[in-house]
Amino acid sequence: MKAEGQLHTRGRQRSRQRQAKPTSYTATGPNQVYTWDITYLPSRVRGQHYYLYVIEDIYSRKIVGYDVYECECGELASQLLQRTLMREQCFNRPLVLHSDNGAPMKSLTFRAKMDELGITSSYSRPRVSDDNPYVESLFRTVKYMPSWPTKGFEHLEASRCWVEAFVHWYNTEHKHSKLNYVTPSERHSGKDCEILRRPSDVLSIARERHPERWSGKIRNCEPVGDVHLNPEREAA
């Protein structure tokens, strides 16, 4: 029966289709691959939220664009994207922008803005939560901050002030574990190589002087290399 193809399920139900993995991209420096998303910020009014828009550079983990609004809207996202490119001075450069499949991300207004700016779009697979990991990790950091207002933000301006303070801390003070403990701003500006070279030299000298104090290798102080968005699995 198997040879005759008679063991297949009958009926009009379509067989399950495997979702293709989204295209992979590699960032070898800043302002090459961005990822963005929107998350809820609670207000003190039940059922009312504010919306945090964030654009993150996956190479440096720097928040390059952000704002808080009272609604989700492709037009607002378009304005934020254009301001971000102006601030980062990366007009007319190859740039990939990755997101999930939310309504603002797929809106005609936003897609037209990306076409206008010459940006390559990249989208997560439907119903796959780990195709946009960088910004999701960032949102977890946001909402687990000790200063996070558990009772909600009093008003829109209060949420904007809180986010502004968070972004300053995250970009310029937070020693990021995925960046070998330099800040996103240091990585974004290319200062990470020099910053990591100093402790590497100090540790090497200390080990030469007192080898008895070392039982293993010294700390890895190498800068983080290229960063991949949705890396393809190696063929078996």
Chunked mean pLDDT (size 10), the chain, 236 residues: 57 57 83 97 95 98 98 97 96 92 94 96 78 91 96 97 98 93 94 76 50 58 86 45
- DSSP string across 45-109: STT-EEEEEEEEETTT--EEEEEEESS--HHHHHHHHHHHHHHHT-TTS--EEEE---HHHH-HH
Confidence at residue 219, expressed as pLDDT on a 0 to 100 scale: 59
113: domain range? 25-179
What is the token pair recorded at 202? Answer: 């100090």
In a domain? residue 234:
no
What pLDDT is attached to residue 230?
78
Q: What is the number of domains present in the chain?
A: 2
Q: 108 in a domain, yes or no?
A: yes
Residue 6: inside a domain: no
pTM of the model: 0.82
Give the pLDDT score at 236. 29
Give the distance from CA 217 to its chain's centroid.
32
pLDDT of residue 223: 83
- Residue of 127, 99, 126 whose CA lies nearest to 113: 99
CATH number for the domain harbouring residue 71 = 3.30.420.10
Residue 212 C-beta-side C-alpha neighbours within 13 Å: 0
Same domain, 95 and 202: no
- Is residue 12, in this structure, part of any structural domain at all? no
What is d(CA 233, CA 236) in angstroms, rounded to the nearest whole number?
A: 9
Give residue 198's pLDDT.
66
Q: Which residues sit opposite 49 in a β-bridge? A: 42
